[in-house]
Structure 1
């Protein structure tokens, strides 16, 4: 007990905050077409105003037709992708064929929901080809809700990139515009333009972007430089 101005006061335990999550930034964009899917993510891994590395890939090739893009807490990203890859290997050995993209999307949704009380702090976008050879994109919330679409943006600059995709890919609120399938060349140019703009506004997105183009012939990789300040 300590006496303060004639009153007794009892010492109070100090509160120490603990946060198990860390946001390491990064952005990911995916676009699906009639016979292709493109997914791209920047290579900057940072925390606050510190850049850990400028050459970290956030794209994980799960098969010749499926690629996963992850941004957010890097330790959660590594844990999630290692478990996912292990399950895919088990499926491959048991069934003698790789798991199809929609099946991978459902399995990932189940894995995220299993951790709903202590979720992975990761923004996931899955891109690939379905059983008919058509491009598909699956996006998730932290506890596993899955939605299939033709384009999606996520990560730290997701709010900046998604409106561009809505306008240029989805033709939202545009009149007298033929809503034709977007060719791969145009989708690739839109993705590059979007990342260039996002790097000007978001300090957690930059350095360069890695691009995976998924077709029936496999996955091709491209790299595009962004600003590095």
Structure 2
């Protein structure tokens, strides 16, 4: 019965015309027990790359902290911004190196390097590029909305509204998701974070 203590969550990433929107709800639940209602699962990695997660938030917090440090060092070496695909590959390598004691988190990495791109990473470090993605126990419900309503080259406002709508649909049916929505927007001007209801 250990499976019932795997934490649930819902996170989504969507590309739009000029940027990326990442959103996640704030609840941490183990089985039927709600541990927290205020946990942030969106992370700014660099000025132009962000991430969101589902699963063990502690693992993602450590991964995000290490990635922030590694990207700062890499930026000083290269004297330019680190593109999102490089961040995803670095994160993938770190996760694969720990494959025997994996970081129990699913991650969506997204950002802007000319084009807006997102990548989904599983606990073993597989990197899957896509235009939109969802991870976590509420992913099926969120993808039901995203599959129907995603359009290439959407406006930022439409992408934010779609991200929030998809998370809300997951909250309606997934008891491990809920308690507000954090949104992270990344575009050519940098990152912005806010909370949606």
TM-score, normalised via structure 2 length? 0.90
The two structures, once aligned, show a CA RMSD in angstroms of 2.0
The residue matched to 1:191 in structure 2 has which SS? Answer: helix
Instruction: Answer with 137-146 or 77-86: which moved more.
Output: 77-86
Contact persistence 2:21–2:160 (CA under 8 A): yes
Residue 36 of structure 1 aligns with which residue? Answer: 19
The residue matched to 1:40 in structure 2 has which SS? Answer: strand
Match of 1:80 among 63, 66, 71: 63
Using the TM superposition, give the Cα deviation of residue 25 of structure 1 relative to its aligned residue in structure 2, in angstroms: 2.0
Contact persistence 1:22–1:72 (CA under 8 A): no
Residue 178 of structure 2 aligns with which residue? Answer: 206
Whose relative contact order is higher, 1 or 2, with alpha carbons under 8 Å and at least 6 apart?
2
Rg larger in structure:
1
Unaligned runs of 5+ in 1: 1-16, 171-179
Residue 135 of structure 2 aligns with which residue? Answer: 154
Structure number with higher helix proportion: 2
Using the TM superposition, give the Cα deviation of residue 223 of structure 1 relative to its aligned residue in structure 2, in angstroms: 1.0
Matches for 1:128-207 after TM superposition, within 5 Å: 128-130=111-113, 132=114, 134-169=115-150, 181-207=153-179
Residue 119 of structure 1 aligns with which residue? Answer: 102
Contact persistence 1:33–1:136 (CA under 8 A): no
Using the TM superposition, give the Cα deviation of residue 59 of structure 1 relative to its aligned residue in structure 2, in angstroms: 0.9
TM-score, normalised via structure 1 length? 0.79
Structure number with higher strand proportion: 2
Counterparts of 1:48 and 1:123, CA distance in 2: 18
Counterparts of 1:87 and 1:73, CA distance in 2: 21
Counterparts of 1:62 and 1:78, CA distance in 2: 11
Counterparts of 1:188 and 1:91, CA distance in 2: 31
